[in-house]
Amino acid sequence: MGYRITGSTRKERWETLKKAIPVMGLRKIVTIISANVRIKKKQKSSDQQSHYAITEWEYDLSQLKEKYFHGEFKWPNT
């Protein structure tokens, strides 16, 4: 669906996520993004690109939770 951190603004990612929710469902999207965060954190990479990716994924998750989540499932930890 075109969701990526590198080379995308928050606005562009948000537009992609809004289009993906009806197709994939909120739970699947949140599960994928939160898994990416956990994997990246386990790598314990201290480079700037990893830190940026984690920050942006967590931002996107917070926006999804705020705007679309209504308690339908257990929100995953990152």
- Given a cut of 80, whether residue 11 has pLDDT beyond it is yes
Residue boundaries of the structural domains of the chain: 10-68
How far apart CA 8 and CA 53 sit, in angstroms, is: 11
pTM value?
0.91
pLDDT of res. 43: 87
pLDDT beyond 80 at 74? yes
Question: Averaged over 29-40, what is the pLDDT?
Answer: 96
Burial class (CB in 10 A: 0-12, 13-18, 19+), 60: buried
CA 43/CA 59 separation, integer angstroms: 20
Percent of the chain clearing pLDDT 70 (strictly above): 97
Q: Beta-strand (E) ranges in 6-76?
A: none
